[in-house]
Amino acid sequence: MTRRDLLKLLAATAPAFAAGRSRLFASEAPANSLPIAPGPFTGTRASLSAGYEVPQWWRDAKFGIWAHWGPQSAAEYGDWYARNIYIDKTEQHKYHVAKFGHPSKFGYKDIIPLWTGEHFDPDHLVGLYKKAGAQYLVSLAVHCDNFDLWDSTHHRWNSVKMGPRRDIVGEFSAAARKHGLRFGVSDHLWPASKWISVCRGADTKGDLAGVPYDGGDPACADFYGDYPFPDRKLDWNEDGITEATKDVYFRRIKDLIDKYDFDYIYQDGHIPFGDRGLALVAHLYNQSLARNNGRLDVVYTSKELADTEAGACVLDFERALPETIWPQPFQICTCIGGWHYDTRKLGNYKTPKRVIDMLVDTVSRNGNLLLNFPLRRDGTLDDEEQAILAQITAWMEIHAEAIHGTRPWVMFGEGPGMVRNDPSVKYNENLRQDFVAADVRFTTKNRDLFAFVMGIPDSGQPAIVAPLAPARGLIRGRVEHVELLGHPSPVRWRLEEHAGLIIDLPGDAPSNLALVFRVTGALG
């Protein structure tokens, strides 16, 4: 597929990712002056594209769970808390003033000691995630709040020295290795100085209008950043970010890579800061080669098509979905509710049905699903999250073989629940409706075709897999056997020329979320 074809495809499916941002990628010079691990990757886009190949473990994994947890979780009042408490029109500002005091006196720095994590048990959490079928675990490493969740060499504002006084990344890493999961982190640092700069603003109205927030405190200058303008408008680009900030970014993320043997790094946006960002990716890849006897075994994701179209890394769609089978392995990242824990979201999480719909839909299109379960202030899941996780576990215990290690078929599926992207909507997952029995999806493994019937037919009605109708010409072999996963007895089935595969269902279906049939022989 050519660059033009990819751009056309992305424009039809996730327009925000294809938006022109060429100014972000001006630097292509080799990063010879930057200290990176020796190896074939030299820190240029051409070098990364020529030598990178998506590792097999990633293509097989299909499902990861993410722990979006940090100081912003202390208030349990939603994502972007560290920014929005400094914008007086937001609900988070109003809540913060009522709960903690005005941010001229009690700002984000003062929230950190309240993030206690006293019940944080990564071994227990990772055990739950593994049972639910997750093949990789992702820990937040640093959000846009500029707080590091590891024993950072170059930044004193970190979780070992403050807050819970624990190495969150290190403990999650150890738990993942113990349970046999791949491990990675998410990096949201590059826009931090711009993102948090509102801390140097002031209320626009009221009794404290014009009184500066705490961002001017010189004792916190290394936390609140050096972005020069306390502007409430956030442009998601590198404009105005200083060279000094970019240098600090390089040192901190290199320190993170050097301290832990990662399988995966999620980048919240593009590969940032020209040669510095490219050098970090090259450093990650070269270290992987050295640690794995010459085998490149690591994944770096970007949300920018320009980073991924030539194969330099893996494309991530945030809360979105491509409209067809994507030509390269990709990832969908989303959350059971909000990114950071939010008591206002209780009762409004994605249902187990919605999660399974999204997982199957994503895998059928050649992707992985990364699902965030935000943790509470104390480091635990709430009861509702645990109940959802238990239902995902029950479904995956029966159907994981149709997810893990699979590849797409000639079509991902069809039915009334197709997501049609609205070009004006950046994050299109809200356009989804729960799938019904007429929605079907497909995966393949070896000689087996797995057909997912994404809802339960009405009582007494058969399951119908219409795309397998011989008249449609998609079957390359001869259907020999059909098995309902999770059910001990054979099912009666027939193949009709125009109607498709018709399957009589037992009275005790193994799931009320989605049924999966192993169809043997259809692949030839």
Cβ-contact 299, 265 below 8 angstroms: yes
pLDDT of the residue at 419: 59
Domain range holding 424? 413-520
- Which band of pLDDT confidence, cut at 50, 70 and 90, is reported for residue 373? very high
Specify the amino acid at residue 160.
Answer: V
Summarised one tens digit per residue, pLDDT across range 392-436 is 999 999 999 999 999 999 999 999 987 555 544 566 787 888 999
Co-location of 251 and 162 in the same domain? yes
pLDDT of the residue at 15: 34
Which residues have C-beta within 8 Å of that of residue 357, sequence separation ≥ 6?
Answer: 417, 432, 434, 435, 454, 514
Co-location of 250 and 263 in the same domain? yes
Co-location of 57 and 135 in the same domain? yes
134-143, 227-236, 306-315, 445-454: which range is least confident on average? 227-236
Q: Summarize the confidence of residues 132-138 as an average pLDDT.
A: 98
Alpha-carbon distance 140 to 187, whole Å? 7
pLDDT at 18 over 50: no
Which residues have C-beta within 8 Å of that of residue 20, sequence separation ≥ 6?
Answer: none
Summarised one tens digit per residue, pLDDT across range 93-114 is 999 999 999 999 999 999 999 9
Summarised one tens digit per residue, pLDDT across range 375-384 is 999 999 999 9
Cβ-contact 235, 134 below 8 angstroms: no
Instruction: Give the CB-side neighbour count of residue 119, counting CA atoms within 13 A.
Output: 9
Cβ-contact 491, 502 below 8 angstroms: no
pLDDT of the residue at 432: 85
- Which band of pLDDT confidence, cut at 50, 70 and 90, is reported for residue 9? very low
Q: Summarize the confidence of residues 250-276 as an average pLDDT.
A: 96
Alpha-carbon distance 303 to 79, whole Å? 19
Task: Specify the number of domains making up the chain.
Answer: 3
pLDDT of the residue at 64: 98
Q: Which residue has the tokens 């290190």?
A: 170
pLDDT of the residue at 420: 58
Cβ-contact 384, 349 below 8 angstroms: yes
- Closest alpha carbon to 59 in 412, 285, 297: 297
**What is the distance in angstroms between the CA of the first residue and the CA of the last residue of the chain?**
26
Q: Give the rounded percent of residues in the chain with a pLDDT score beyond 90.
A: 83
Co-location of 265 and 342 in the same domain? yes
Domain end, chosen from 402, 437, 452, is at: 402
Which residues have C-beta within 8 Å of that of residue 330, sequence separation ≥ 6?
Answer: 314, 315, 316, 317, 322, 366, 367, 368
- Closest alpha carbon to 66 in 139, 175, 160, 168: 139
Alpha-carbon distance 319 to 317, whole Å? 6
Residue 408 resides in a domain: no
Summarised one tens digit per residue, pLDDT across range 434-486 is 999 999 999 999 999 999 999 999 988 999 999 999 999 999 999 999 999 99
129-133, 282-286, 476-480: which range is least confident on average? 476-480
pLDDT of the residue at 479: 95
- Which band of pLDDT confidence, cut at 50, 70 and 90, is reported for residue 27? very low
pLDDT of the residue at 470: 96
Q: Which residue has the tokens 């072999």?
A: 477
Residue 40 resides in a domain: no
Residue 49, both tokens? 């594209």
Which residues have C-beta within 8 Å of that of residue 12, sequence separation ≥ 6?
Answer: 323, 421
Co-location of 369 and 305 in the same domain? yes
Residue 13 resides in a domain: no
Co-location of 423 and 436 in the same domain? yes
Task: Look at the chain and count its residues.
Answer: 524
Co-location of 342 and 458 in the same domain? no
Name which residue leads in pLDDT, 269 or 229: 269
Alpha-carbon distance 352 to 379, whole Å? 22
Co-location of 228 and 372 in the same domain? no
Name which residue leads in pLDDT, 462 or 507: 462
pLDDT of the residue at 8: 41
Query: How do strand 136-142 and strand 63-67 relate by DSSP bridges?
Result: parallel
Q: For residue 181, how far is the Cα from the chain centroid?
A: 16
Query: How do strand 63-67 and strand 367-372 relate by DSSP bridges?
Result: parallel
| Mean pLDDT over the full length of the chain | 91
- Which band of pLDDT confidence, cut at 50, 70 and 90, is reported for residue 23? very low
pLDDT of the residue at 303: 94
Summarised one tens digit per residue, pLDDT across range 212-222 is 999 989 999 99
Question: SS3 for 197?
Answer: helix
Which domain CATH number covers 495? 2.60.40.1180
Residue 134, both tokens? 């997750």
Which domain CATH number covers 328? 3.20.20.80
Summarised one tens digit per residue, pLDDT across range 341-362 is 999 988 899 999 999 999 999 9
Co-location of 253 and 305 in the same domain? yes
Cβ-contact 105, 64 below 8 angstroms: no
Co-location of 135 and 157 in the same domain? yes
pTM over 0.85: yes
Backbone angles phi and psi of 440, in degrees to 5: -125, 150
The sign one gets for the Cα dihedral 380, 386, 390, 392 is negative
Give CA separation, 303 vs 11, 14, 233, 263, in Å.
14, 10, 21, 18
Domain end, chosen from 402, 429, 445, is at: 402
pLDDT of the residue at 7: 34
Residue 116 resides in a domain: yes
Residue 141, both tokens? 């490493």
pLDDT of the residue at 436: 96
Domain end, chosen from 234, 266, 289, is at: 234
Query: How do strand 413-414 and strand 136-142 relate by DSSP bridges?
Result: unpaired
Summarised one tens digit per residue, pLDDT across range 44-96 is 999 999 889 999 999 999 999 999 999 999 999 999 999 999 999 999 999 99
The number of beta carbons lying within 10 Å of the beta carbon of residue 7 is 14
Name which residue leads in pLDDT, 17 or 368: 368
Summarised one tens digit per residue, pLDDT across range 299-335 is 999 999 888 887 899 999 999 888 889 999 999 999 9
pLDDT of the residue at 188: 98
Co-location of 341 and 425 in the same domain? no
Q: Give the rounded percent of residues in the chain with a pLDDT score beyond 70.
A: 92
Co-location of 209 and 321 in the same domain? no
Give CA separation, 98 vs 201, 258, 274, in Å.
19, 42, 42
